[in-house]
Amino acid sequence: DRKALSDRSIICNFPINHVGAIGDICGRTLTGGGTLYFQEKFSPSEVLRLMESEKLNTLVGVPTMLQMYVNHPNFAQTNLTAVDLIAWGGSAIPSELLQTLMEKTECTRCTMGYGMTETTGGVTYSGLHDSVQILANTIGTPDPRQPLRIWHPDGRLAETDEPGEIQVKGDFTMVGYWKHPEATAAAFTEDGWFCTGDLAIQLEDGNIQIVGRISEMFKSGGYNVYPREVELALEEHKNVKMAAVISVPDLTFQEVGIAYVMGTEKDTPKPDELRAFVAQRLANYKIPKQILLLEELPLLDIGKVDKKALRAFHDSS
């Protein structure tokens, strides 16, 4: 009920080994008495054609897929008014993209969440009528059926607005990694909490905001910098489609951030403009020392930025 997944008509074109295909789309749709339309390969033109011809009521995908629909030449003339629910996961959605989809479909209900294979899908969800700001900048609130905590590095529960690791436990959390006892042991705390590796803060309204990965956090001049927090600040700019921040060695500060930014089709802001923009939102030590513009960011198959490829690109240039 919380995700409005009863009587859905929905396309599944995710890799069948991905939890998003097995659980989030297929499992929930079938449980709710809905109809699945399988596509062997992802094709924006085929998705738009099928959405219109079959009057499908659910538009779903990772944000990169949704952006490809909007960018497709057929998007403007495709009738999507049968859509009464927009759903996504995998990464944050830019607010401008979400607003475009809501206006195009005339849809007022949206659902997104956070989870992973190890948690058998989502452990947090948005409300169906949350604001665009909440939908674009948070992962919603925890599912009460699956215990979740934000654990501070000092070994305690994090306070409101204080970064910590998302940890979960419960009936839906994996038992362990198949035939990898060392990896299993490293993934759990002594008292049985699964460590996601994702850093987050819980806001005063109960919504949770991802600020980065523990593996991506770096220290600049002795201060912790969380790349996702910087990326979110950059993506608040109306002409930024996507941003990715990596760290590089620095003689003075040990490490500094480098931001790669992909602008919108309407306009691409200048680096100095973006630096001034984030200076109003971030402490000085979090502001990237360089902001570089790219026409496209390298992406993984699931739609997230491929930071290994981005780092390789940086090192080679």
| Three-state secondary structure string covering 80-109 | CCCCCEEEECCCCCCHHHHHHHHHHHCCCC
CATH 3.40.50.980 fits 9-139, yes or no: yes
pLDDT of residue 18: 81
DSSP label at residue 26: I
Give the list of residues 6+ apart from residue 88 with CB closer than 8 angstroms, or none.
60, 61, 62, 63, 66, 112
The structural domains of the chain, with segments of one domain joined by +, span 9-139, 148-211, 216-316
Give the list of residues 6+ apart from residue 299 with CB closer than 8 angstroms, or none.
64, 305, 306
Residues forming beta bridges with residue 208, ordered by sequence position: 202
The token pair at 126 is 């948005």
DSSP label at residue 178: T
pLDDT of residue 33: 92
Distance between alpha carbon 80 and the CA centroid of its chain, in Å? 24
> Sign of the CA dihedral 314, 301, 239, 213?
negative
Q: 56, 50 in Cβ contact below 8 A? A: yes
The token pair at 272 is 């100095």
Please state the CATH superfamily assignment of the domain spanning residues 148-211 in this structure. Answer: Luciferase; Domain 3 (2.30.38.10)
3-state DSSP helix/strand/coil % of the chain, to nearest 5: 30, 30, 45
Q: Which residue has the tokens 């994090």?
A: 158
pLDDT of residue 267: 80
Rounded to two decimals, the pTM is 0.78
Nearest alpha-carbon partner for 74 in 106, 56, 50, 40: 50
Instruction: Determine which helix (DSSP H) or strand (DSSP E) holds 195, and give its type and residue range.
Output: strand 194-202
Distance between alpha carbon 297 and the CA centroid of its chain, in Å? 15
pLDDT of residue 110: 95
pLDDT of residue 3: 64
CATH number, domain 216-316: 3.30.300.30
Per-residue confidence in pLDDT tens, the chain, 317 aa:
666 678 899 999 988 878 888 888 999 899 999 999 999 989 999 999 999 999 999 999 988 889 889 999 999 999 999 999 999 988 888 888 999 999 999 999 999 999 988 998 889 999 999 999 999 999 999 998 889 999 999 999 999 999 999 999 989 899 999 999 999 999 999 999 999 999 999 999 999 999 888 888 888 987 888 898 899 899 999 899 899 999 999 888 889 999 999 998 778 899 999 999 999 999 999 999 999 999 999 988 767 889 999 999 998 88
